Structure 1
Amino acid sequence: MDAYDEDSRAPAGPDGSAGPGDLHAPGDPADHTVPAGPGDPGDPGDPGDSPPAGPVALAAVPRTGVAALSPRYQVGAAVALAVVAVATCVHLAMVFLSVAPANTVTKQHGKAIEEWVFPEFEQNWKLFAPNPLQQNIAVQVRAELRTKEGGLFTTGWYDLSARDGADIDGNLAPSHTQQNELRRGWDFFVATHGADNRPIGMRGSLSEQYVRRIVVMRLNREDTIRREGVVRRVQVRSSTTNVQPPAWSQEKISDKPLYRVLPWWTVSADEAAGGVR
């Protein structure tokens, strides 16, 4: 009997299995060679296999950001960024010098530093003091109005701190003015005035102007004030109440508010009209 397979002509294995040459059954598509088509990269005669004759044109990448601007606007954007960067560096340097220990720069340019920082950017460290504040301080104001008929009318007390607190309560992103404008303005006033409410130094007068402008702007937002007349004078007071100790403490603290009442301040025409000059 012939030891070779009829189709493959390869010797069969001892158990009758296909030999090394019989890898596929008859009729298996792998047995047939498919000629490469015109688009087959393996075809040596395919024109697509050869590189293009001329230079290849690259697609233009679209410009974004400042690069998309015209040269004139690019120069303007660069100048604006430079101005912002310089202003930021100057501001940070001024704030740093205002809280840094006394040095040659602060001794020579102390007045310029104070004019830049105070009162809007003043820094303090009360949160980290050995004995933090244990009082609630509310700033209140009342006004004397010139009515439309020509008479004078005195309003009741407006609790401006309570209104700021109501705006902050439940607000995930309260504004800087709601949190700090009135509070820091009053702290600035207290720090520059004696117990008799008289200013100490030149910053005392500045703090009076700052607090007066804040309360007048707040009053001008009230519908009642706008209906009744024009603010002629204002009087500011603070109400200080001690924070009560926890229930487990045996400490006894008075819960009665203490008032600090300031004299009446005359409001200028610009301030009464809502200006801040």
Structure 2
Amino acid sequence: MDAYDEGSDARHGPGGPDPRRALPGPAPAPEGREDAPRRRPAPPASEGPAGPPSTPGDPADPPAAPGDPVDGPSAPAAGPPSGPRTGVAALPLRHRIGAAVALVGVAAGVCVHLGMTFLHVAPANTVSKEHSRTIEDWIYPEFEQNWKLFAPNPLQQNIAVQARAEIRTAAGGVRTTGWYDLSAQDGRAIDGNPLPSHTQQNELRRAWDFLIATHDDDNRPVGLRGALSEAYLRRITVLRLDRADAAGPDGVVDRVQLRSRTTQVPPPEWSEEQVSTTPEYRTLPWWPVPEDEARGGVG
């Protein structure tokens, strides 16, 4: 009998047929091959006394692999932390819409004012000639421009505007106040103030310049702008006198009168120029005050 016959025990040995031939599938890789899968050995049990339990975030702990569960409190969500809204964002929707509409209105008003001012100071052109009346109504008297600071011979005078009033008392009598120096009031408000208001610096001065430019040497108004300048300066004067409580508790301002006190600015010591230091006065006639202005209105 052949030694390699299927029925022979010489090939399979005394233990019977090779059990690997009876199992389906590929045969296990022999030991020593590189492509054989290797199992990771189980970590050895810790020896010695047990230490304190590790806490999340301990530097000794190995970093968690992606997808591994995290012990303890849940990890914060990605992105910036959410907090309470502040400013306009905290307002309700209708209030935000209102704020946006107000902002657009303010921006439009600023653009219109800048456009009117530009057309007023720019050289005469087709647009300024066609809309000259609209531009003048917008500019005068509050926003009139003055370029005397840049003239070849700037102003060298100090002009103080003063006012007094006739007061009608509750008993029917009339009394005349003393002269109030309105320019000195503005000077005291500006002195030491790092950010004085435009009103304190220019309102009274520009009103007086406007009046002088629209009146003749006899203090008579010339044209419609002359009457407008009188009404503008009168309103300013009544408001200033009311602020100073010139009428008293029961009195009413019936008429006002204004004057200017002009003094020349002394020349520097090194100059040979000689100027007079005597004040010059220009007194305007009495102006009646309308009833609504006398009681706190502006006419």
Task: Work out whether the TM-score is over 0.5.
Answer: yes
Aligned to 2:123: 101
Aligned to 2:171: 149
Aligned to 1:61: 82
Max radius of gyration: which structure?
Answer: 2
Give the Cα separation in 1 of the matches to 2:92 and 2:242: 46
Give the Cα separation in 1 of the matches to 2:100 and 2:236: 37
Identity of aligned residues (%): 63
Give the Cα separation in 2 of the matches to 1:189 and 1:225: 25
Aligned to 2:283: 261
What is the CA-CA distance between 1:56 and the residue it aligns to? 8.3
Alignment of 1:60-139 (within 5 A): 61-62=82-83, 63-139=85-161
Among residues 241, 249, 254, which one is paired with 2:263 in the alignment? 241
Indicate whether 1:175 and 2:191 are aligned: no
Q: Gaps (5+ residues) in structure 2?
A: 1-53, 70-74
Q: What are the superposed Cα offsets for residues 28-51 of structure 1, whole Å, 9 maximum, x if unpaired?
A: xxxxxxxxx8978998xx693232
Aligned to 2:64: 48
Q: Do 2:177 and 2:246's aligned partners in 1 also have CA atoms closer than 8 Å?
A: no
Aligned to 1:18: none
Question: Kindly tell me: are residues 239 and 49 of structure 1, through their superposed partners in 2, closer, same or farther at Cα, counting changes over 3 Å?
Answer: same
Give the Cα separation in 2 of the matches to 1:155 and 1:69: 53
Give the Cα separation in 2 of the matches to 1:266 and 1:127: 34
Q: Gaps (5+ residues) in structure 1?
A: 1-36
Give the Cα separation in 1 of the matches to 2:237 and 2:63: 86
Question: Kindly tell me: are residues 243 and 41 of structure 1, through their superposed partners in 2, closer, same or farther at Cα, counting changes over 3 Å?
Answer: closer
Matched residue count: 239
Aligned to 2:236: 214
AA partner of residue 274 (structure 1):
G
Q: What are the superposed Cα offsets for residues 201-258 of structure 1, whole Å, 9 maximum, x if unpaired?
A: 2111111000001111111122342247211011111111111112222221111111
Give the Cα separation in 1 of the matches to 2:295 and 2:248: 11
Indicate whether 1:193 and 2:244 are aligned: no
Aligned to 1:3: none
Give the Cα separation in 2 of the matches to 1:240 and 1:56: 76
Q: What are the superposed Cα offsets for residues 150-203 of structure 1, whole Å, 9 maximum, x if unpaired?
A: 111112211111221122122222222221111111011111111121112211
Question: Kindly tell me: are residues 229 and 41 of structure 1, through their superposed partners in 2, closer, same or farther at Cα, counting changes over 3 Å?
Answer: closer
